[in-house]
Every structure is written in C-alpha cells, then in structure tokens.
C-alpha cells in the first residue's frame, strides 16, 4: 500500500459522505414518522440529492433509521438488524417514541426506548418530526458517519 493508502482512505471518506445508504426499521411505530420519512424522498424535499438511498437490505446500509417504541416482537429483529449493518454505522431515532417511548412508556408490551436495546447516535424530536427536520437530521447523521469512519 504505502503511497496509495492515504489516497484510498480519502476516496472511501468521500464515498461515505456522498452516498450514505439508509435502512428504515419500524419498531412498532404508528406510521406517522414513517410517512414523514417517505415525504423526504419526494421530489420536493428530495433527500436523494445528498446521495441517500432507501436500501432494502441492512447489509448494504450505513444509516439505520428507527421509528417507534420497541415492542416485544420487534426487539430481537432490531438487535439482529443492528448487528447486520457493516461498521461504521449510525443509528438515528426518528420521533419521540424511539427516544423515550413517549405515551407508551411503562406499557408491559414495550421493551423500548431504543437506546436500551442498541446505541443511538442522533435523536430527531417531534411527534412526528417535520420532513425538513428529518432531512437536516440525516445530513447531521452523515457527518457523524464520516467522523466514525475516520476514527476507525
């Protein structure tokens, strides 16, 4: 490697910044936050201009977007999916539910909030958050992803 290494690292860094792929996981959400996340992909907000792509497989994704308080049935799925994402990865909690379980806190069928199951890097508050806030949050998540890649 030697001479090539810094060039390759810069290339990887640039690729991370310009094409972060996103995996969306619904951990028992009411669908409000999911609709706002889909609104980000519409031509008006157009989150794809940041190089984002909504990816179907967690193995190809860099950012995990979680919506909803974690219900008992989705807990193990969330753990598995988080483990399937390649490093470096960033977990974004969209809405109040993944942050604190919101109105569902204390329910016997809720195992959340998300940070009790997997580490969360960024919280986007709102019930649901506005698409503009989601786009801003994803842009911040990309910065966190690049910082994590450099640290690795």
Partner 1 sequence: MFHILRRLAGNLAQGPVSLRFPAEVPPPAGLRGLVRIDPGRCLACGICSYVCVSNAITGAESQGAYAWAYEPGRCTFCGRCEDHCPGSALSMDPQAPPSYTTPGELARTATVAFPACPVCGEPNPHVTEEWIGKAFGAPNGETRELLRLCVRCRRRRIAQGMKQPHGGQP
Q: Which stretch binds partner 1 (CB under 8 A): 11-19, 53-61, 77-85, 116-124?
A: 116-124
Helix H, strand E, coil C: the string for 72-134 is: HHHHHHHHHHHHHCCCCCEEEEECHHHHHCHHHCCCCCECCCHHHCCCCCEEECCCCCCHHHH
Site string for partner 1, 3-42 (x = CB under 8 A): ----------------------------------------
Q: Is residue 151 a contact residue for partner 1 (CB under 8 A)?
A: no
Q: Which residue from 67, 71, 74, 96 is in contact with partner 1, where contact means CB under 8 A?
A: 96
Instruction: Using the Cα atoms of residue 116, residue 120, residue 123 and residue 126 in order, give the sign of their dihedral.
Output: negative
- Give the residues lining the site for partner 1 (CB under 8 A): 43-46, 49-50, 96, 99-100, 102-103, 105, 115, 121-127, 129-130, 132-133, 135-137, 139-140, 144
């Amino acid at each position: 490697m030697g001479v090539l290494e810094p060039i390759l690292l810069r290339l990887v860094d640039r690729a991370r910044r310009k094409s972060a792929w996103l995996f969306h996981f619904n951990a028992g959400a009411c669908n409000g936050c999911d609709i706002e996340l889909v609104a980000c992909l519409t031509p008006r907000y157009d989150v794809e201009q940041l190089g984002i792509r909504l990816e179907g497989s967690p193995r190809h994704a860099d950012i995990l977007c979680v919506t909803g308080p974690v219900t008992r049935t989705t807990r193990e799925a969330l753990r598995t999916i988080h483990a399937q994402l390649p490093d470096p990865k960033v977990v974004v909690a969209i809405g109040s539910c993944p942050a604190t379980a919101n109105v569902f806190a204390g329910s016997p069928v809720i195992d959340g909030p998300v940070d009790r199951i997997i580490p969360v890097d960024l919280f986007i508050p709102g019930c649901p958050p506005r698409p503009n806030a989601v786009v801003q949050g994803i842009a911040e998540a990309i910065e966190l992803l690049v910082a994590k890649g450099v640290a690795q």
